[in-house]
Structure 1
Amino acid sequence: MLDSSVYVSSGVLMDRIHSEEYFMNHPEAAVANAGHKRGVKHRGVRFPNIEIRDAAIEAVKKADIIGYCLSVHNMDAGKLTEIVFEKNNIKPLFVYDAYIRRVIMVSQKNKFEKMLSGRKILLISTMAEEVSNRWRKSFKRD
């Protein structure tokens, strides 16, 4: 479940869509390099980091379901995600608008559980471990 800031903050854009100079001057790169340990400004890595970029691309390629911003289609949201997909030959089985993730998790719990059942799930978030633990407990999964 990704948004475009994740692409910037994981380095997926570097050298494949934008130059390293462009990437390193992006506000998200400055936030990532600030070293926040948790919270909305936490990015988890510092840049440049080609190893993380390549690992992020491979992880996204393996995901069955990817959420990204479909309702906003510009270079900070959905359009950027689609360019990343095309440049990296990423073809998810299912996509959904990331804005609905909280709604479907709560109001359509059975549908959400069925959608995720048997799928490989990549969580990119400062709260990924907590969300994973909650899902495992809620859905009784390993």
Structure 2
Amino acid sequence: MISNILDEDLLSKDEIVERLKTALINKTPYCLVRIGDGENFVLSQDSVYTMEQTLGQLWVKEANKGRKGVRFPNIPVRDQLVEAIREADIVGILAKNDKVIRAHPNHKRVLTNRIFNHFELMPQAVCNAIVNRELIYHKPFWEMLHEQNSRVVLVSRWAGGTKQRLIRPPYHLQVPFTLPFERNEMMADTLDILEQRKDEYDIVLCSCGINAVILAHQIKKRIGKIGVDFGIGSQIISSVKI
């Protein structure tokens, strides 16, 4: 059971980098997804919460104002998240006493445990869900992408600005193209483009909230590439010095 997983059981940053490196070298389809409070609320619909309970959450009310890239009720997106978690190579979950994500403790790891038990989800490997924030400051991650000559695609509302940072020192990355992404309705067109241009890239960093979980999974399953749920990483990378 996921509730038995200790914080020390979570993969380290270096272990994640090594696994991504292996996938890049072997051209193996791969994905890393992360589950935070927003994903928890999507997954809670008609499962561990009644729909009424889910719709009453402040985060969900904000989502229904168009601020989270997905609207509720949304059972199809819930089911896509369940499939993504079930088939992901690495699943990020919040540490038991996480202090980074600003959400009520009942909406973090406690809720994830309940949801995973409900859907009988037991990830192949787990890491800390805040790994995206950690990798930004983790020099070996960027060095690995550079040394492998990895062609990196960015999918995000901030993709264009992030590209301008990553193609310059100290990153020196190859970014053949970027795609904007703001809401779930853009999923089909985004995946179509990524499939049509699959020979132009090796790995995709997805920074589009809950939608990044679905996107990273489909990049692996449908397109046969490497998808990483990079969360807020794309938004803050321009201000980071490594």
Match of 1:78 in 2: 109
SS of residue paired to 2:95: coil
Distance 2:137 2:54 in 1: 36
Q: Which runs of 5+ in 1 are unaligned?
A: 37-42, 114-125
Q: Radius of gyration: which is bigger?
A: 2
Secondary structure of the 1:103 match is helix
CA distance in 2, matches of 1:82, 1:111: 34
The 1:32–1:86 alpha-carbon spacing in structure 2 relative to 1, beyond 3 Å, is same
Which residue identity is paired with 1:127? S
User: Number of paired residues?
Assistant: 119
1:111 Cα offset (Å): 9.5
For 2:174 and 2:97, locate their aligned partners in 1 and report how far apart those are by CA, in whole Å: 31
TM (norm. structure 1) is 0.68
When residues 128 and 86 of structure 1 are mapped into structure 2, their CA distance, relative to the original with a 3 A threshold, is farther
Does residue 62 of structure 1 match 2:87? yes
Contact 2:40 2:108 in 1 (8 A): no
- Given that 1:4 and 1:77 are in contact with CA atoms closer than 8 Å, whether structure 2 keeps it comes out as yes
Picking from 64, 77, 81, the partner of 1:52 is 77
Counterpart CA distance in 2 for 1:71 and 1:112 is 30
**1-structure distance, mates of 2:127, 2:63:** 26
How well do the aligned residues superpose, as a CA RMSD in angstroms?
3.1
With normalisation by structure 2, the TM-score equals 0.42
Structure-2 change in CA distance of 1:95 and 1:128 (3 Å): farther
**1:18 maps to 2:49:** yes
The Cα offsets for residues 16-59 of structure 1, whole Å up to 9 and x where unpaired, read as 101111111111110110013xxxxxx22211111111112111
Structure with greater strand percent = 2
1:127 aligns with 2:152: no
Which residue type is aligned with residue 94 of structure 1? Answer: A
Percent identity over the alignment is 23
Q: Label 1:109 to 1:28 Cα distance change in 2 as closer, same or farther (>3 A).
A: same
1:7 CA drift (Å): 2.0
Residue 137 of structure 1, CA deviation: 4.3
1:109 counterpart (118, 136, 141): 141
Secondary structure of residue in 2 paired with 1:18? coil
Deviation at 1:5, TM superposition (A): 2.0
